[in-house]
Amino acid sequence: MAANGNPKHGGRYFLPTAYRENPQTSADTAESTFWDPDTDYGATRYQEGVYKWAASLIKSNQAMVIDIGCGTGHKLAGIVAPVARDWLGVDQESAISIASRECPQGNWLCADLSQPEVWAGLAELRADLVICSDVIEHLPDPLQLLQRLGGLIGPTGHALVSTPDRSRLEGRDPLGPPLNPLHIREWIPEEFKLLVESAGLEVVEMHHFFPRGYSPTVANFRRLVKRALQFQALPDRRNTMTFLLRTA
């Protein structure tokens, strides 16, 4: 199926021309339970593999790390911060209020990332590694995000960007819209690579991870039993695709 090569035309961003998107929904809306710790959305073990990869990349050089869309910050503070020279987690008020309360010794910034001056200030920190984990699928302009990430890492830094791989999601329709109503659009690796290159970046490496980490708790055991009874993959399919990027 032909993909739309003009990322601005119809908001397709290298997706199939018939692809259907979801409307934008903010995690700060009154109806949203995105940061509720009692829901799967609030679970701190999502994208754990992304942060472990980030930590492995910086162990030898004690890098300056910026996490764009850090959420409640548990993975940044617990996995990456111990091996970073310096670090900063950036997100909207609903997430940073939790991060600053539960990890008051952390470095957190509540910011409106739609404002260019915020990105200009972050660029002055000269990040060696920027993490942006499962953020891009929520945004109306993913190309702009990638371009701004490129501005943070400069000629020598790297960015780790993760997003769901549409081709590996269970029960998905290849023409959308995403089953998760908070996701505007989802890509397959080939489409996302084209989007990355259109933003002036290049792919250094790509890996798939489980979208959620697991530990031997009662809750996770029940989740496994439920999935088994529903004849679903155990524990999850590796449907989180993560790209290590640098400026082209």
pLDDT tens digits, one per residue of 21-69: 999 886 555 444 444 544 444 445 689 999 999 999 998 778 999 999 9
In terms of pLDDT, which residue wins out, 1 or 18?
A: 18
> Is the Cβ–Cβ distance between 209 and 49 less than 8 Å?
yes
Count of domains for the chain? 1
- Detail the DSSP E strand segments found in the chain: 64-68, 86-91, 108-110, 129-133, 158-164, 201-209, 240-247
Position 135 in a domain: yes
Position 21 in a domain: no
> Is the Cβ–Cβ distance between 195 and 14 less than 8 Å?
yes
Position 3 in a domain: no
From the list 79, 192, 208, the residue with the least C-alpha distance to 131 is: 79
- In this prediction, residue 28 carries a pLDDT of 59
Is residue 204's pLDDT more than 60?
A: yes
Range of the domain at 234: 34-247
Position 19 in a domain: no
List beta partners, residue 59: none
Is residue 1's pLDDT more than 70?
A: no
Position 61 in a domain: yes
- In this prediction, residue 38 carries a pLDDT of 45
Pick from 92-96, 164-168, 212-216, 242-246: least confident: 212-216
Position 7 in a domain: no
Q: What is the CATH number of the domain that holds 169?
A: 3.40.50.150
- Could you read off the pLDDT of 109-156 as tens digits, one per residue? 999 999 999 999 999 999 999 999 999 999 999 999 999 999 999 899
